[in-house]
Chains A and B, each alone.
Chain A
Amino acid sequence: MIASDIIAYAWQSLSRHRGRSLLMLIAMGISVASVMLLTALGEGARRYVHDEFASLGTNLIIVLPGRNETTGAGLNAMPGVTPRDLTLDDARALARHSAITRIAPLNVGAVEASWQNRKREITLLGSTHDLLKLRHWKLAAGQFLPDMEWERTTPVCVIGKKIRDEIFGPHAALGQWLRLGQNRYRVIGIMASEGRTIGLDVEETVIIPVASAQSLLNTPSLFRILIETSSRGAMPSVIEFATAVIRERHYGEEDVTVITQDAVLQTFDRILSTLTYAVGGIAAISLVVAGILIMNVMLVAVSQRTAEIGLLKALGASRQQILRLILTEAMLMSLVGATAGFVIGIFGSWGIRLAFPELQVYPPFWAILTSLLVALVTGLLFSLLPAGKAAGLDPVRALQGR
């Protein structure tokens, strides 16, 4: 029997029972589509986080005070304070390495800001000129902190968009004196809104020179030191250098944690990938249910067509041929169903992209491939029983419809 005849025959018997075939198609389609859509969502979330991190800066190394032997580095790194502060001098000592292109010491705190009679609590960032480029931030107006000696306190500030809207409202903010704590700072720049990143909303921050922040917050210690290296390859040597320099400066005590952006990103990546796999796997259970349905319907089909199968045998169809006919029927079913599911999945993720443009919802290639493959394999596996049953029918009895 030639292949096109097998397929034509299977197609004919499927289209004779349109309603039942359609239902099987829907079942298979729903399963494949849901696997694709859910993995697409998971993958979209992963990409979103990935891009967020990439926008934080490239080749980034973060030095933070404190080191814990069990907790180690990673997401659980607690806000550490240590007996020996991480200071501006430490940061400057790090800047000596030739592979370091930018370095920005950082202080963070909560401070009340006021202008005329408007008040609001803001997140204060103390840092230096390099921070803007290091974090890939953009200015909406004015300029960023001046390039000057880190120890100098200068009464200038750069404000987030939301701060400008809420404190200055319709008034021009540039050039105004904003009161932070006891001191006043002249507004020299306004941040563009795209600086919104994980864990820190730039729209709600005020940035002042690091030395000013230290005196305002009354602390000699830094919250973090951010380092950008010239290349990815230079990162290990810079990490080693930073650890060694701080240890030397802190009298042999290694009391800082040095992490890379990549390490944090990888943790997120791992979590989100696992989640995607899990969600896809859970959705794939429905493929099994669809497989059971196909098996059931094929069993029914075989028992309804007992006489026909008997006839085929009388006309000289071998056991092999009968097996192949029934398997083809089921495979055709799952192939068409899976294709329908694939199309729904593609259009569905397109729909989600329209609704949430910031999410890159594309079904990952592996998910498309596996869900289609699993659909076909389920179709095949679950039709083995009915096909075997058909092939094993005794022709004499089958012709009698028994």
Chain B
Amino acid sequence: MIRLEQIHRDFEVGDQIVHALNDINLDIAHGEYLSVMGPSGSGKSTLLNIIGILDHATSGRYFLNEQNVTDMDELAESRARNRHIGFVFQSFHLVPRLTAAQNIELPLVLAGIAPALRRQKVQQVLESLSLADRAHHTPDQLSGGQRQRVAIARATITEPSVLLADEPTGNLDQKSGSEVIVTLEALNQRGITLIVVTHDKNIADRSLRSLQMVDGRVVSDRHGR
């Protein structure tokens, strides 16, 4: 469902050109569980941003669900992001003035879904992530693990086909980290395509497919545990 063909991403820094991604070719099937590893600066986040249509490749072609993303205009891009993609960030990125429930319903609000339907969906997601009693707490009243679970809830509320997680456990202790990973894997079990960027060897080992990146290139692509 995700196909990258000869993707390059260059950044101009002063009069120097940084090749953050260098000829990436990648096929990711529906329901896969993929981890991306590599040293700092190898282009992991850049790759994730391009898959999430937050960033644009300098050259190359990107198909999402057989649709050529490279040809989309801004409106189509944001609609695709809203419908098909869920993001989970290292630093949670919850809106501090909104409650957990309000944070979770944001994508539905942006999509223009009626409040009644929203409430129902949010309630479901909260329960499935055992966050129901935290619905009306603001982010500063939640623990790190809870915050990340709220972020996951928000990312999955629109029932996207792909979930992109950039170092989701980077800001968490061991225990909360594994809770978050279990949550993500449970979602993968239910059919969502999961891509996790991580520095943690243990997490990479649990995934069914693992990419290794160095200097903007994919140096190894291991299938199976």
Task: Please list the residues of chain A having a beta carbon within 8 angstroms of any beta carbon in chain B.
Answer: 1-2, 4-5, 9, 12-13, 16, 307-308, 310-321, 395-396, 399
Contacts and interface: CB of A to CB of B under 8 A. Distances in A.
A262 B158 CA distance: 73
Contact of B74 (A1, A319, A399): A319
B95 interface: yes
Given A12-B98, A307-B93, A399-B93, A315 B52 contact: no
A308 B54 contact: no
Contacts of A318: 74-75, 78-79
B97 A314 contact: no
Contact of B55 (A1, A12, A396): A396
Q: Classify the secondary structure of B's interface with A.
A: helix
B87 A312 contact: no
A4 to B, nearest CB: 8
A4 B118 CA distance: 14
Interface string B98-127: 100000001101111011000000000000
Given A396-B49, A396-B54, A316 B114 contact: no
A1 B95 CA distance: 18
A249 to B, nearest CB: 85
B134 interface: no
9 contacts: A2-B112, A307-B93, A310-B93, A314-B87, A316-B82, A316-B107, A317-B110, A396-B54, A399-B89
- Nearest 6 Cβ contacts at the A-B interface: A316-B82, A318-B78, A316-B81, A16-B97, A395-B54, A315-B107
B141 to A, nearest CB: 16
Given A12-B97, A307-B93, A314 B54 contact: yes
Contacts of B85: 316
Contacts of B52: 314
Given A311-B95, A318-B74, A319-B78, 6 more contacts: A2-B112, A312-B110, A314-B81, A314-B93, A315-B106, A315-B107
A313 B109 contact: no
Contacts of B79: 316, 318
Question: Which interface class (under 10, 10 to 19, 20 to 34, 35 or more) fits B?
Answer: 20 to 34
B75 A1 contact: no
Contacts of B74: 318-319
B19 interface: no
Nearest to B106: A315
A5 B81 CA distance: 20
A304 B54 CA distance: 20
A326 to B, nearest CB: 15
Of the listed residues B75, B95, B110, B115, the one surrounded by the most CB atoms of chain A closer than 10 A to its CB is B110
Contacts of A310: 93
A101 B97 CA distance: 78
Of the listed residues A16, A310, A316, A317, the one surrounded by the most CB atoms of chain B closer than 10 A to its CB is A316
Contacts of A2: 112, 114
A317 B111 CA distance: 8
Contacts of B114: 2
Interface of B: 49, 52, 54-55, 74-75, 78-83, 85, 87, 89, 93, 95, 97-98, 106-107, 109-112, 114-115, 154, 158
A12 B115 CA distance: 17
B112 A1 contact: yes
Contact of B109 (A1, A307, A319, A396): A1
A16 B98 CA distance: 10
Contacts of A314: 52, 54, 81, 87, 93
B32 to A, nearest CB: 21
Nearest to B111: A316
Contacts of A317: 78, 82, 110
Contact of A9 (B78, B109, B115): B109
A313 B78 contact: yes
Contacts of A4: 115
A370 B92 CA distance: 46
B92 to A, nearest CB: 10
Nearest to B85: A316
A321 B79 CA distance: 11
A2 B109 CA distance: 8
Of the listed residues A1, A321, A395, the one surrounded by the most CB atoms of chain B closer than 10 A to its CB is A395
B191 to A, nearest CB: 20
B97 A13 contact: yes
Given A316-B107, A317-B78, A308 B95 contact: yes
A315 B55 CA distance: 14
A318 B158 CA distance: 16
A318 B110 CA distance: 9
A315 B82 contact: yes
Contact of A315 (B49, B81, B98): B81
B154 A315 contact: yes
Contact of B83 (A316, A395, A399): A316
A316 B93 contact: no
A399 to B, nearest CB: 7
A307 to B, nearest CB: 7
Contacts of A316: 78-83, 85, 107, 110-111, 158
Nearest to B48: A396
A48 B154 CA distance: 65
Nearest to A12: B97
Contacts of A319: 74-75, 78
Contacts of B80: 316
Contacts of A12: 97-98
Contacts of A321: 78, 110
A312 B78 CA distance: 10
